[in-house]
Structure 1
Amino acid sequence: MSKPGYKDQSMWIRLVFMALYWGLINLAVCVFGFLLVIVTIIKLASRYEPYTLGGWLTSLSTFIQQSFRFLAFQTEEKPFPFQAWPNGDDNGH
């Protein structure tokens, strides 16, 4: 006779992935904050518009959003590296 909680192996595997993505979200938020500071400094110090860094910020924010959707049980699709890295072309140019 098996215990009821141990029957659904997919939930246990999902919990492992949720722990992994929780760590990745923390790392991604730190990188996002660092890039945000760099972009702000560049915009304040020059007239240069950092489109590349803006694209990275867009990609990273999309990854963070996808990860939170997975953690909140809104989707079963795992974000990067199980899907392609989000595209950062949504920066309006």
Structure 2
Amino acid sequence: MSEFKSNVTSDAFWLRTLYMVAFFLVYRVIDLLVLLLTVVQWFFRLFTGQPQAELAVFATALGVYVQQIVHYLAGRTEEKPYPFQDWPALPPTNPDGGE
């Protein structure tokens, strides 16, 4: 019971709780952004026959960012994602579509 009392009165516990709520809200906004990216890529494929490369790279980085958020929310890591660290960097893709 003393552990509970210690956690409830801990500033670090409540600060992490605040960060968790904020990152969960960011996660929900990204969910809508992924829907928008999906629709835009669908139109690119419809009119050009292939996805827009820069959007595909951004979507991949966004996926890594979501992974970082989930790891933070789940308690797998204490490292807060962007903007507390750099945006996920990806290696450049080959022009032929391979990575």
Q: TM-score normalized by structure 2? A: 0.80
Greater RCO between the two (CA within 8 Å, min separation 6)?
Answer: 1
Judge conservation of contact 1:63–1:79 (CA < 8 Å) in 2: yes
Q: TM-score normalized by structure 1? A: 0.85
Equivalent in the alignment of 1:82? 84
Moved over 4 A (4+): none
Please state if 1:69 is matched with 2:71. Answer: yes
Which of 59, 62, 76 in structure 2 is aligned with 1:60?
62
**How many residues were matched structurally?**
91
Q: What letter matches 1:57 in structure 2?
A: A
Equivalent in the alignment of 2:41? 39
* Separation in structure 2 between the aligned mates of residue 63 and residue 90 of structure 1, nearest angstrom: 17
* Separation in structure 1 between the aligned mates of residue 31 and residue 89 of structure 2, nearest angstrom: 17
SS at match of 2:21: helix
What root-mean-square deviation, in Å, do the aligned CA atoms of Structure 1 and Structure 2 show? 1.9
Q: Which runs of 5+ in 2 are unaligned?
A: none
Q: CA deviation at 1:49?
A: 3.8
Which of 6, 11, 19 in structure 1 is aligned with 2:8?
6
* Separation in structure 1 between the aligned mates of residue 52 and residue 72 of structure 2, nearest angstrom: 30
* Separation in structure 1 between the aligned mates of residue 51 and residue 41 of structure 2, nearest angstrom: 9
